[in-house]
């Protein structure tokens, strides 16, 4: 078929399209679906696709490739929204990928139909005996939350149903089993009721019911104490401390607020973002967001984008058979977005109660959600500015570690000591494979006496991130995408423990020097790759720079100590003169390079004393050089 005949045939089809709401499907010459869309008035929308223009938009591709139009009339816009959503999930048209995920958001499945329930992420909700939490718009964040809560309640997150004896089979290599981070129902006999109680606590935690968990554990601790079961009471006490730390890091409870879902948006010149916050019992128990470049919306409206986001997050298409009884249903919504007048009637058709933000508290909630959306845009802008496209090394490291996103920002830690004296540590930051000097930090070890690299690593990681708030430290630097520890498995465990204490979940690895092995807690054996692979070269560069920075600081402190010791033995040098010399010069070698006139003038001291100090420093340097030879 020639292009002219094709366009004539399209024109004949357009004349038959009704002025009604519905969904349309565009086919190409191979009878394959290239685009699915919806419209309030089908004839107007379809004619806009086939109107001549010089742009390079989606409509131009449709105009150049479209051969056949199929329409489905519906009675309302909401019906069109649902039908469009389902058809896109089924057919995955190539032109819909620009602003639709082409797939549902992931859920966290709790396999309650099994004897020992497991937690695993899935996009399919076919198991009627399971409980599904979610959906989650940010899978990485959801994984980190699960990992954190499982560190307190050690239930399984295996990918297969668990039976006693599996430890000698498929579960043999499970790192959580081997490191005793799980109750191990695959290896030892576990009380089913106790195990399911732990599962219930995990579900409550993920639903934001942390205060209720704390009350329950406190009651259990008292019972164990009254029954003289002090070991169990001690475990409850430690768990309660972790829960309280979590509660302290959570946002302060908002008193006097009914259960509500708050939706707001923000935009800059390049992007727009919609954010959702779910508030239950005065706590923000869930935050979701989605951003899009404004050019990508093309002929779709912002209202359509927001509705598509809510369709996923609020699961408006849920079937009654799906078990989601754990997620408290909240039908009250406050929405303040562009095109909200267009969205509100369609949400009301789904059974939601839309209320005005009349009270001062409601206005604060809207502002809080809007601020969340703004921070998402600021974060994305910062990443674009500082990172750009990932370098070859960064992209390769992502493949090596099988990370969901490229590790643009990498923080690397190293500890330096000499016979247990002058214990120091360093943290260096690389952004997109290059050093970022303003991200460098150095530490004097405060809580460790003698040589203990494990405890030192635990201290410095805790100190580096303890003041992080809303993803940024007090200097305005974002949290890293990856933390690298110079050391093996034990250093890695200590660093991860510190992050858990703070409530942060950042991918963390250990890099051992001898064989350049990569340690990960989720893998039993260290990862060994070609040392010249780009991703490994990046890790080695980070580790070597952290080592250099730590050694330099360690050497500076040693030199200062040597200078202090040397000055104490020079007649005529009192406390004030010693402090001036230490603060101004800091090392013997720097003083040795000065002239007596310069030293006397700068510190306002007797020229003879200045000459004596320089002479002794130069003699010390000469003797030290002879010893090294």
Of 264, 266, 286, the residue nearest 205 (C-alpha): 286
Give 569's pLDDT tier (boundaries 50, 70, 90): low
Residue 103's pLDDT is 47
Give 628's pLDDT tier (boundaries 50, 70, 90): very low
- Structural domains of the chain ordered from first start: 3-96 (3.40.1440.10), 102-188 (no CATH), 260-384 (3.30.420), 392-555 (3.30.420.340), 569-628 (1.10.150)
pLDDT tens-digit map of 277-326? 888 766 666 778 888 877 666 545 788 888 878 877 775 444 333 344 44
Give 99's pLDDT tier (boundaries 50, 70, 90): very low
More confident residue, 104 or 590: 590
The tokens describing 283, both together, are: 């706590």
Q: Which of 32-36, 142-146, 363-367 has the highest mean pLDDT?
A: 32-36
Residue 382's pLDDT is 63
Give 359's pLDDT tier (boundaries 50, 70, 90): confident
More confident residue, 444 or 89: 444
More confident residue, 9 or 419: 9
- Of 58-67, 199-208, 283-292, which range is least confident? 283-292
Task: Please state the pTM of the whole predicted model.
Answer: 0.41
Query: If you write DSSP's letter for every residue of 164-202 in order, what string do you get?
Result: TTGGGTTTTT-HHHHTT-S--TTTS---HHHHHHHHHHH
- Non-local (6+) Cβ contacts of 59 within 8 A are 48, 49, 50, 51, 53, 298, 299
Beta pairing class for 332-336 and 353-354: parallel
Euclidean distance between CA atoms 456 and 494, whole angstroms: 9
Residue 327's pLDDT is 47
- Of 341-355, 491-505, 554-568, 580-594, which range is least confident? 554-568
Q: Are 207 and 329 in contact (CB under 8 A)?
A: no
* Residue 620: burial class (beta carbons within 10 Å; 0-12, 13-18, 19+): middle
Residue 389's pLDDT is 63
Residue 436's pLDDT is 92
More confident residue, 389 or 392: 392
- Of 132-146, 243-257, 504-518, which range is least confident? 243-257
Residue 414's pLDDT is 92
- Average pLDDT (408-419) is 87
- Non-local (6+) Cβ contacts of 217 within 8 A are 236, 239, 240, 243
Percent of the chain at pLDDT > 90 equals 13
Euclidean distance between CA atoms 141 and 504, whole angstroms: 10
* Preceding omega of 135 cis (within 30 degrees of 0): yes
């Amino acid at each position: 078929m020639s292009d002219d005949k094709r366009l004539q045939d399209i024109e004949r089809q357009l004349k038959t399209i009704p002025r009604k709401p519905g969904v349309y499907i565009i086919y190409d010459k191979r009878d394959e679906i290239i685009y699915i869309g919806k419209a309030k008035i089908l004839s107007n929308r379809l004619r806009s696709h086939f109107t001549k223009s010089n742009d390079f938009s989606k409509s131009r591709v449709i105009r150049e490739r479209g051969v056949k139009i199929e329409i489905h009339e519906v009675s309302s816009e909401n019906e069109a929204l649902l039908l469009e959503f389902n058809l896109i999930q089924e057919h995955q048209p190539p032109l819909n990928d620009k602003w639709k995920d082409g797939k549902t958001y992931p859920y966290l499945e709790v396999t309650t139909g099994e004897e020992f329930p497991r937690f695993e992420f899935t996009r399919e909700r076919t198991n009627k005996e399971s409980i599904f939490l979610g959906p989650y718009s940010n899978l990485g964040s959801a994984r980190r939350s699960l990992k954190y809560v499982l560190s307190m309640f050690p239930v399984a997150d295996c990918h297969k149903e668990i039976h006693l004896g599996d430890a000698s089979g498929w579960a043999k290599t499970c790192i959580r089993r081997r490191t005793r981070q799980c109750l191990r129902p695959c290896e030892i006999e576990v009380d089913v009721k106790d195990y399911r109680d732990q599962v219930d606590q995990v579900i409550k935690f993920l639903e934001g019911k942390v205060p209720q968990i704390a009350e329950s554990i406190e009651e259990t601790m008292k019972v164990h104490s009254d029954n003289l079961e002090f070991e169990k009471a001690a475990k409850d006490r430690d768990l309660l401390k972790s829960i309280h730390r979590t509660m302290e890091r959570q946002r302060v409870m908002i008193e006097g607020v009914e259960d509500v879902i708050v939706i707001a948006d923000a935009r800059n010149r390049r992007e727009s973002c919609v954010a959702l916050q779910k508030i239950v019992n005065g706590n923000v128990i869930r935050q979701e967001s989605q951003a899009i470049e404004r050019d990508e919306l093309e002929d779709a409206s912002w209202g359509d984008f927001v509705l598509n986001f809510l369709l996923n997050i609020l699961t408006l298409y849920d079937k009654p058979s799906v078990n989601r009884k754990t997620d408290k249903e909240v039908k009250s919504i406050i929405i303040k977005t562009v095109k909200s007048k267009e969205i509100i009637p369609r949400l009301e058709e789904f059974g939601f109660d839309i209320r005005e933000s009349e009270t001062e508290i409601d206005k604060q909630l809207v502002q809080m959600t809007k601020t969340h959306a703004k921070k998402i845009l600021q974060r994305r802008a910062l990443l674009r500015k500082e990172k750009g496209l990932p370098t070859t090394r960064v992209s390769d490291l992502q493949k090596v570690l099988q990370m969901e996103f490229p590790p643009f920002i990498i923080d690397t830690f190293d500890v330096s000591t000499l016979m247990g004296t002058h214990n120091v540590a360093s943290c260096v930051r690389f952004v997109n494979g290059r050093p970022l000097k303003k991200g460098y930090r150095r530490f004097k070890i405060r809580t460790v006496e003698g040589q203990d690299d494990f405890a030192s690593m635990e201290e410095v990681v805790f100190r580096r991130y303890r003041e992080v708030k809303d993803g940024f430290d007090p200097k305005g630097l974002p949290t890293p995408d990856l933390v690298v520890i110079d050391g093996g498995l034990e250093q890695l465990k200590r660093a991860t423990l510190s992050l858990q204490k703070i409530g942060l979940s950042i991918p963390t690895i250990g890099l051992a020097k001898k064989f350049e092995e990569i340690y990960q807690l989720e893998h039993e054996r260290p990862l060994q790759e070609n040392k010249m692979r780009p991703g490994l070269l990046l890790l080695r560069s980070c580790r070597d720079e952290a080592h250099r920075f730590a050694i330099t600081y360690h050497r500076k402190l040693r030199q200062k100590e040597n200078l202090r010791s040397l000055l104490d033995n020079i007649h005529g040098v009192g406390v004030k003169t010693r402090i001036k010399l230490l603060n101004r010069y800091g090392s013997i070698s720097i003083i040795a390079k000065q002239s007596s006139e310069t030293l006397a003038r700068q510190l306002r001291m007797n020229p003879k004393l200045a000459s004596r100090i320089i002479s002794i420093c130069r003699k010390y340097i000469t003797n030290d050089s002879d010893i090294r030879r």
